Amino acid sequence: MPQPTITLAAIEQPAIYLNTPSVVLNNQTIEERLRKILQGMAQQNLDSLVVYADKEHGGNFEYLTGFIPRFEEGLLVLHKSGEAVLVLGNENLKLAQHSRIPATVVHAPWFSLPNQPMDTTLSLSEVLQQAGLRGQKRVGIAGWKLFTGINDNNKSLFDIPTFIFLALQSALTPAYELLNATDLFISPRMGARTTNNANEIAHYEYGANLASGAALTALNAIELGKTEKSIAALLAADGQANNVVTIAATGDRFENANLYPSDKQIQKGDKFSLTVSYKGGLTSRAAYVVSQANELHDEVSDYLDVVAIPYYQAIVSWLEYMRVGIKGHEVYELIEQVLPKNEYHWHLNPGHLVADEEWLCSPIYPASNIPLSSGMLLQIDIIPSRKGYAGASIEDTIALADESLRLKIATLYPELWQRISARRNYIREVLNIHLHEDVLPLSNTVGYLRPYLLNKDLALICQ
């Protein structure tokens, strides 16, 4: 496809939406989620499914229960009958009564924090037998990895703690088969979590809206002499938990192995990175702290032509190509064509799915014949790297929705539909990017790139 012509222009900023209420997942959505997982279990002929969770890897567990076990481990044991049992440590026992699916609970004190009481006469394998894991012939384990590309036997690789895995083996003795069943949740081809209904899209748009609004507020606050911490403070929105480490980094990143915003002051000519993410969407930006090209250091004075404009051409191509039904390999090949990997050194999938996690999985890779489906939430994630230059980044989130899903969103969530429509209008009328009707911007800043961060009016647009 022909590449768009890109120019730098003075334009209005996108609108942001503050104090937007959260949308709670309704009971019908939870019931639908449970049906999807039970159907997947039946297709894989599973007697039971053991879903592992900890604070960093709780998405599959939370998909059904509505909560994560915070600073402990936790298990959800789901039987093919629909019976569910929660295996929880000391400080999460009280959460069992709030589970979104009906579940009994058994106590596993080994999941608790160091030196907390572990008073029990049972072994962990006996506790797991109390959860109904006895005599099954085929049991799935859902961790958080798919192990694709390793070998053809990735069903026998597991990513749960050894002490839990050994206890499962002991509980199920003598005859059983354990297999990795994480794909029930996050396989890009058939995983239950890869597509969303109207209620789920409204639920996740809250986070995408929150992240993009906070990011634009922080971008507007960037000034010489301010510290990384002062900018990062603007990214802490509504008291919500982040699902990635927040970035507000000026100059060289990772000095002294530090990942977090510091007291470093912003200086003219610095490269600057900013990232914030909540459930449903991440917003990221990278550019230079200058007002115009002649303020760049000599060695990067051509940044606009060498990095920013080619990158933006790729983003525009990605946005305008997106629609329900295209295959993952087609998107990959498009980006390879407009932003060749051997020149721009991007190495991750050029687009991936999001949900409670910032990275759920990706249907976009070289040989993927997976069609992009209505209900998918996609992160625009193309990361160019040219030696000696700062990066360029406008990561944001869109949803794909066919006519039926769009009608449901518009009917059930009219205020959300107004925000989506306003974002589409801005993208079309100000940025001159033409989205297919299937593409619903969930972030306020989709397509909006400032290459010079001290000039709040200039941004790249299609001409």
User: Residue 318: inside a domain, yes or no?
Assistant: yes
The single-letter code of the amino acid at 294 is N
176 and 198 within one domain: no
453 and 307 within one domain: yes
User: Residue 188: inside a domain, yes or no?
Assistant: no
288 and 319 within one domain: yes
User: Residue 56: inside a domain, yes or no?
Assistant: yes
The residue out of 180, 206, 223 marking a domain boundary is: 180
Positions in the chain short of pLDDT 50: 150, 152
User: Residue 229: inside a domain, yes or no?
Assistant: yes
Dihedral in degrees, nearest 10, Cα atoms 54, 202, 392, 277? -30
pLDDT digits (tens, 9 = 90+) for 29-84: 999 999 999 999 999 999 999 999 999 999 999 999 999 999 999 999 999 999 99
pLDDT for res 175 = 81
The residue out of 180, 203, 234 marking a domain boundary is: 180
287 and 202 within one domain: yes
- DSSP strand pairing (397-400 vs 377-379): antiparallel
Q: Could you tell me the CATH number of the domain that includes residue 321?
A: 3.90.230.10
User: Residue 187: inside a domain, yes or no?
Assistant: no
User: Residue 36: inside a domain, yes or no?
Assistant: no
d(CA 113, CA 133): 25
Radius of gyration for the alpha carbons in the chain, expressed in angstroms and rounded: 23
Sorted by sequence, the CB contacts under 8 Å of residue 454 that are 6+ apart come out as 222, 223, 224, 268, 289, 290, 291
Q: How far is CA 206 from the centre of its chain?
A: 13
71 and 11 within one domain: no
pLDDT for res 364 = 97
335 and 213 within one domain: yes
Q: How far is CA 89 from CA 102, 111, 293, 393, in A?
A: 18, 5, 57, 41
User: What total number of domains does the chain contain?
Assistant: 2
70 and 158 within one domain: yes
78 and 11 within one domain: no
Q: Could you tell me the CATH number of the domain that includes residue 125?
A: 3.40.350.10
d(CA 184, CA 50): 12
Q: At what angle do helices 198-221 and 414-429 cross, to 10 degrees?
A: 50
What SS3 string covers 70-117? CCCCEEEEEECCCCEEEEECHHHHHHHHHCCCCCEEEECHHHCCCCCC
The residue out of 153, 180, 207 marking a domain boundary is: 180
d(CA 49, CA 181): 8
442 and 295 within one domain: yes
CB 158 within 8 A of CB 181: no
Q: Residue 90 is part of which domain span? A: 45-180
What SS3 string covers the chain? CCCCCEEEEECCCCCCCCCCCCCCCCHHHHHHHHHHHHHHHHHCCCCEEEEEECCCCCHHHHHHHCCCCCCCCEEEEEECCCCEEEEECHHHHHHHHHCCCCCEEEECHHHCCCCCCCCCCCCHHHHHHHCCCCCCCEEEEECCCCCCCCCCCHHHCCCCCHHHHHHHHHHHCCCCEEEECCHHHHCCCCCHHHCCCHHHHHHHHHHHHHHHHHHHHHHHHCCCCCEHHHHHHHHCCCCCCCCCCCEEEECCCCHHHCCCCCCCECCCCCEEEEEEEECCEEEEEEEECCCCHHHCCHHHCCHHHHHHHHHHHHHHHHHHHCCCCCEHHHHHHHHHHHCCHHHHCCCCCCCEECCCCCCCECCCCCCCCCECCCCCEEECCCCCCCCCCCCCEEECEEEECCHHHHHHHHHHCHHHHHHHHHHHHHHHHCCCCCCCCCEEECCCCCCCCCCECCCCCEEEEEC
443 and 322 within one domain: yes
370 and 249 within one domain: yes
210 and 347 within one domain: yes
User: Residue 306: inside a domain, yes or no?
Assistant: yes
pLDDT for res 119 = 86
User: Residue 398: inside a domain, yes or no?
Assistant: yes
Burial of 445 (0-12, 13-18, 19+ CB in 10 A): buried
pLDDT digits (tens, 9 = 90+) for 150-190: 454 578 899 999 999 999 999 998 889 999 999 999 999 99
